Structure 1
């Protein structure tokens, strides 16, 4: 073995290290905040109360408190929804949140609108993309394409917009399961419902009858309508659920338009709920446009039911929505 040069570093002598009492240290964890086991037949409220006082559980409480505070003061609570929120069956829960006064307005991306419409039409939605993409059948069902061709054309007329046109289609057409439509129920309850699409990102843009001019005009009306909602968001809450690109970008631009036109848009709490925290929701929803941002990482089908219940409990303590 060849001889190596000697090391030039002498190990530090630890005998001179100074210590101090553990009782003098500031601590981040205390036993008072630990989880409390509950009985198997515990109520949902008891389960929520038993959660530990750390990290995501605290962020859940913080967001529920923000929603309850905003609604008790008569301020808007806007939810932005990606398609997966509808696909995991949360439409009825969100409709209930609107009916109970927790949520005032909805903004959907194109995917969410498509899935909601298919549920209203046949009670089912979503396809096995790995199979249908092989032979080009992905997204090519005729009924959905025909519906949205009508909706796009109607939405481009008379300042109607895409969300309103879709609600009118669902209300007046042959939709056996329209009672399951979040878009229709939210509109019936008086919520503003807007739909925001980027051309080429949805299946209904790639079929016969797809009119790019009508699509653009209809969703642009909804962009302006959402900007009006956000102009009135001072003291309110925006919750982005499951949209990683389109709605975060739309939200940021709506805030810019509202402020450019002289609306303050201050005191807003924004939250992002998703199984991964992506760049655009983090920067364009939680960081850049608002004073307070809350990130909750997890699955919609678990987080949203918990958030709904905790927000309802806190709102009830304030006497309900104003």
Structure 2
């Protein structure tokens, strides 16, 4: 006995509950990018993040921009700098690789070597000026009890390097915006040079850990963004948040948002999920697309 399909039960389409309605369709708008995003799935979440960043700015709450070095390598430094100048970004935090690329861009207008070719020759990361200037600055910064980010910003600014105006750290220094750098000894090319002093790196980077924690004590109602740091910043952020709470600071209601080209476990857990009480968002996409998209969306409200 085969089924009799003529006996199926149907209903009028009008009576069915549907997830998408005509009201959700966007109207093309060449002047307003945010209006071209539907209130659906990631589009809805993205618009919500934009609103929260603008709200944090209006209410003078922190907007912490954490990032990996690829933000600089993807040509996005000027966008970060402009958001600092517009008082949208109130603090930047990154890893040791970022100060290397930032310095090299400021010094020669170029960075990012061909690792495969240089590694064969044993010359990977062995540029004289990178090792000499950065390590020299770090030793001086340690003597003055400065943070690592401030140390590099001060050095690039004082030396008036040819492209210093395109340096995230020099601009942060001039704008008096906290810039923290969280080093992993041995992870970057800078530690191969004879000028390197591990104690100085440890001291200046630890000072920045304390500085970031102090910023996070005021994060209630604010926003933290992470662009592409898959391990170091998610781990540092979690410890800074925990330390702030341990010291009695109320840091429960804030927005945490991660941007990366792939799903990253530590970023998803330590930034988006584990900080209970806050709101977490995760967007997957390339930095060279997502950061300009966020920038122009924010401009709509500035």
Deviation, 1:59, is 2.3
> Retained in 2: the 8 A contact 1:151–1:162?
no
Provide the residue aligned with 2:20 in structure 1.
29
Report the TM-score, using the length of structure 2 for normalisation. 0.93
CA distance in 1, matches of 2:163, 2:295: 24
Runs of 4+ more than 6 Å apart = 10-17
Provide the residue aligned with 1:117 in structure 2.
103
Report the TM-score, using the length of structure 1 for normalisation. 0.87
1:173 partnered with 2:159: yes
Provide the residue aligned with 1:286 in structure 2.
272
CA distance in 2, matches of 1:15, 1:206: 78
Instruction: Please give the residue correspondences for 1:164-313 in structure 2 after superposition, counting only pairs within 5 Å.
Output: 164-173=150-159, 175-290=161-276, 291-313=278-300
From the CA coordinates, give the structure whose radius of gyration is larger: 1
Write out per-residue CA displacement over residues 161-208 of structure 1, whole angstroms, 9 at most, x where no aligned residue.
101111111111251111111111122112111111111111101222
Provide the residue aligned with 1:132 in structure 2.
118
- SS at structure 1 position matched to 2:256: strand
CA distance in 2, matches of 1:286, 1:11: 52
Write out per-residue CA displacement over residues 20-55 of structure 1, whole angstroms, 9 at most, x where no aligned residue.
5544443222232234345xxx33x2x431233323
Give 5+ residue unaligned stretches, structure 2: none
Write out per-residue CA displacement over residues 251-292 of structure 1, whole angstroms, 9 at most, x where no aligned residue.
000000000001111211000011112000000000001421
> Retained in 2: the 8 A contact 1:76–1:105?
yes
Match of 1:104 among 86, 90, 93: 90
1:52 partnered with 2:38: yes
Match of 1:149 among 126, 135, 139: 135
Give 5+ residue unaligned stretches, structure 1: 1-9, 317-322
- SS at structure 2 position matched to 1:115: helix
